[in-house]
Structure 1
Amino acid sequence: MPQSSTISGDGLLLVEDTPSLQMLYATVLRKAGYKPMLASSGAEALTKFAEHRPSVVLLDLMLPDADGLMVMREILALRQETRVIVITANGSVNNAIDATREGAHDFLVKPLGDIRMIGAVASAFAEMHQEVALTVDDISRSDALDRAFMGRSEAMQEVHSRIAAVAGSTAPVFILGESGTGKELCARAVHLKSTRAAQRFVTLNCSAADPEQLEIELFGQAGPKPGRAQSQVQARAGAIAQADGGTLFVQNIQDMSSDLQAAFLRFKQRASFAPVGDSRQIKVDVRLICTASRDPTEDMRAGRLREDLYYRLFVIPITMPPLRERGTDVHLLAQHYLAQIVAEEGKAFSRFHPEVLDLFLHLPWRGNVREMINVLRHAVVLHDGEMVTREMLPPGLAQMDVPTATASGMPEGADPLAGMTMAEIEERAITAAIARHHGSVPRAARELDIAPSTIYRKREQWDKR
């Protein structure tokens, strides 16, 4: 359940002209920990929005003095990043599509279920928090993403070049990489550098969604038909409708059922879809970006991903390198996230002791950027000062030895083969070659006269141990 101390700072505006409903919705929201501001008309809503600039707005489309869509346009003109959840008594999916095309975050149909309403509000705040987390010193979202996506290593320069090449295309992009390497940031970078940058970027994680609800999350759901007995089914716009004109980012598509993969393939082929409970096809214009932490080729061969869908989606691959292969990018990212965490926690840290920077270069970073953020937050929250020292790091890191490497990459004075198996010698040789080339797998592969894919495959096997 959300905490009121957090939510009240973000601001929630409820716009409902029926007094009994306004009181009911406000009571439900307060019990959930929110502190909603209330408005009973379009004019009052715009006045309160201009004064308080709330992050989330629950907006009834039927107001006594104004068209709700017009009010929404005015709100988004004042603050584009605000999440507007529209409410209507009309269960038409067309209204849902119109609202989402105009910029609505979600769509609710009266009578509102408490769980559905709170879920929509929580989702809106969560999305706002994810974007605010990228913001440093009130820079624009694009600039913030560029800072979080920084990198001078050859591996990251290759990523940036690929993004620049594909951003203007409509071809599907498939982003590969370990968990925590920044695959969603990569997808957002493609979106923000494309002609669709002003439109919505919608995310759907197939592994996080309830399998029984995933079809509705994707295609949406039609409401009760006129003349039929009213049911508990509520119309809602799915991820595809919300992304119309923009980009749909689908995570872990191999976790869709085979039947749903077939339906998704039809949508990809026809550029149209039918909401659950409706046979009418709705045309959309959506750029697809997919991602997976596993190799989609292996998923296809294992039967987890349909072959025909694989060839439709795996058109332009982009591989995000793990943090341990990015050389001194580690220092750039550490400084960036230190500044961000310091701002959040109200501390004074501004730099790292050289020992910490040296240690960061040698850490395996199995959790990639997420692990780095956790390490930095540990140091900042539990300590005070201007410089982060080794003693401030989590215990396991603070006591870790940093080997003195020779030109061969082996510890000084050690017999590189004594007591080692062939597999261990191979791992040490590959790791040393990558280090010599500052994290560049392609250069290490050329030195060792093997394919880069061989190194990536072996690294994946080592990570699973």
Structure 2
Amino acid sequence: MPHQQDGTAHGLLLVEDTPSLQMLYATVLRKAGYKPMLAASGAEALTKFAEHRPRVVLLDLMLPDADGLMVMREILELQPETRIIVITANGSVNNAIEATREGAHDFLVKPLGDIRMIGAVASAFAELREDVSLTIDEASRSDALDRAFMGRSVAMQEVHSRIAAVAASTAPVFILGESGTGKEMCARAVHLKSARAAQRFVTLNCSATDPERLEIELFGQSPPKSGRGQAQSQVRAGAVAQADGGTLFVQNIQDMSPDLQAAFLRFLQRSSFTPVGDTRQIKVDVRLICTASRDPTEDMRAGRLREDLYYRLFVIPITMPPLRARGTDIHLLAQHYLAQIAAEENKQFCRFSPDVLDLFLNLPWQGNVRELINVLRHAVILHEGEIVTREMLPPGLSDARKLATNAGHSPTNAVFEGLTMAQIEERVITAAIARHDGSVPRAARELDIAPSTIYRKREQWDKS
């Protein structure tokens, strides 16, 4: 089974100190095809991690001998690409939010829902497979991306033409478009078609990073030199140093503080930077690609983005079209992602009923490709068969078609007409998360609710 290959090749470590819960979680994972290694303490977890280097870790934050956050930090220090899914009690959600700020891939709140836990693990392994596919060799990297970045529409052909034109340049690229349209995929395409394709593609999302740590994440940090060997071993490379020779993809740069924007501008002007806590100027060769969840011109006019930095970055714009403007491209994308998700979930789905394909063409897709993937994952996880039918789609999805067909109603009323309050709440929260590129804390601020409320509701939706 596909999961068995993942669990064997990459490794999955489950860290849970309560024997009954450890047995329960391990049983659920094994039924899904995974082969988890087990640890009941922080010390045992670090020992097994150092020996086996698993790629995904399910980590309870409440351990008998160690702070779960400290264990997570040590794991990421040993292997930064590890996908860590933290587990927390219902009353300790703030700890889990802190963990995501420090590099956790996802978090789960007890009591764990089987579907939510397996979904989180599958998502982590899916990202790892994508990362591996993008680092094997130039041909396979390009093929893997082309399959997910396909499109025959006029809008997408214009994007492909622009990518081909700018790939050979070293000028900064600014990618525009609604949330969920594939801006990061576009950035990867520019990188993979450039002479830097064999080098690293490093991402930094300014809005998803703790503002107090953003400078360190960007430029790295040199600790006080209490001993030469010790200082050397503790030096932390930031995104700029990691991208040397390759491409740095910065999301939501307008969320940098004014002082950090000034430092970033100096880096662009000099092609050198100074790590936090150091005085050295380090020279690098980096191709910069940026994107933002808002119009950068408006951010510049509103004073959120420095004018001189704006003109330095906004050299070559590429606009990703919304999914609703891509015509039958949606059928190609739906088929591609259906095959991918079905393989991940060990299901037999391989095609769609005609009425589903017709519906897909007429939906507004406010969350764009990200929403399409979520719809397909919902259908695949909760149902069986070979054909995705209308009845398998999320509740209320069909009503969104009124956006495209009922010009007499406002978009908001059209989406909500005929839905229950619970369904409206789910759609509003999901759309807010999509608008903020998956950031629950930012979506919570927009909706004026606590992030923990969103996490609890997502747990309830996964169980239903």
Smaller-chain TM-score range?
Answer: 0.5 to 0.7
How far the C-alpha of 1:355 sits from its partner, in A, is 0.4
Q: SS at the partner of 1:294?
A: coil
Superposition deviation, residue 324 in structure 1? 0.8
- Listed as ranges, the matches of 1:161-310 within 5 Å are 161-225=161-225, 234-310=234-310
The alpha-carbon distance between structure 1 residues 149 and 180, as it changes in their structure 2 partners (threshold 3 A), is: same
2: CA distance, partners of 1:274 / 1:158: 39
Structure 1, residues 145-176: CA drift from partner, whole Å, max 9, x if none?
11110011111111100000000000000001
Contact 1:254 1:299 in 2 (8 A): yes
Q: 1:38 aligns with which of 51, 66, 74?
A: 51
**Gap change, CA 1:180 and 1:245, over 3 Å in 2:** same
Which amino acid is the alignment partner of residue 323 of structure 2?
A: L
Provide TM-score, normalisation by structure 1.
0.63
Partners of 2:341 and 2:289 in 1: CA distance: 30
Q: Cα distance 1:372–1:56, how it changes in 2: closer, same or farther (>3 A)?
A: closer
Q: Superposition pairs for residues 49-448 of structure 1, below 5 Å?
A: 114-120=71-77, 123-126=80-83, 129-133=126-130, 140-225=140-225, 234-398=234-398
Structure 1 residue 122 displacement after superposition:
7.2
Question: Does the CA-based 8 Å contact 1:134-1:144 persist in structure 2?
Answer: no
Q: CA deviation at 1:37?
A: 6.6
Equivalent-residue separation in structure 2 for 1:37 and 1:170 (angstroms): 39
Q: Displacement, 1:195?
A: 0.2
**Distance 1:366-1:380 versus aligned 2 partners, 3 A rule:** same
Separation of aligned partners in 2, 1:339 and 1:5: 17
Larger helix share, 1 or 2 = 2
What secondary structure sits across from 1:222 in the alignment? Answer: coil
- How far, CA to CA, are the matches of 1:217 and 1:359 in structure 2? 43
In structure 2, the gaps of 5 or more residues are: 14-38, 57-68, 84-123, 413-445, 448-464
- Count, aligned residues: 330
Please say if residues 176 and 319 of structure 1, whose CA atoms lie closer than 8 Å, have aligned partners that are also in contact: yes
Query: Does the aligned pair in 2 maintain the 1:342–1:348 contact within 8 Å?
Result: yes
1:237: how far off? 0.6
Aligned to 1:395, what secondary structure does the other structure show?
coil
Instruction: Give the AA of the match of 1:308.
Output: D
Which has the higher Rg, Structure 1 or Structure 2? 1
Q: Distance in 1 between matches of 2:324 and 2:253?
A: 27
Structure 1: 5+ residue stretches without partners: 14-24, 40-53, 58-111, 404-408, 425-463
Is the contact between residue 134 and residue 148 of structure 1 (CA under 8 Å) also seen in structure 2?
no
Query: How has the CA–CA distance of structure 1 residues 388 and 29 changed in structure 2, closer, same or farther, with 3 Å as cutoff?
Result: farther
Deviates more, 1:126-135 or 1:191-200: 126-135
The separation in 1 between residues aligned to 2:73 and 2:41, in whole angstroms, is: 15
- Cα distance between partner residues in 2 of 1:242 and 1:183: 21
TM-score, scaled relative to structure 2: 0.63
| Residues 55/315 of structure 1: CA separation in 2 closer, same or farther (3 Å cut) | farther
Are the counterparts in 2 of residues 347 and 384 from structure 1 also a CA contact under 8 Å? yes
Question: In the aligned structure 2, how far is the partner of 1:303 from the partner of 1:154?
Answer: 35
Question: Which digits, 9 at most, give the CA deviation of each residue in 1:288-339, with x for residues without a partner?
Answer: 0000011100000000000000010000000111111111111110000000
C-alpha contact (below 8 Å) 2:363/2:401 kept by paired residues = no
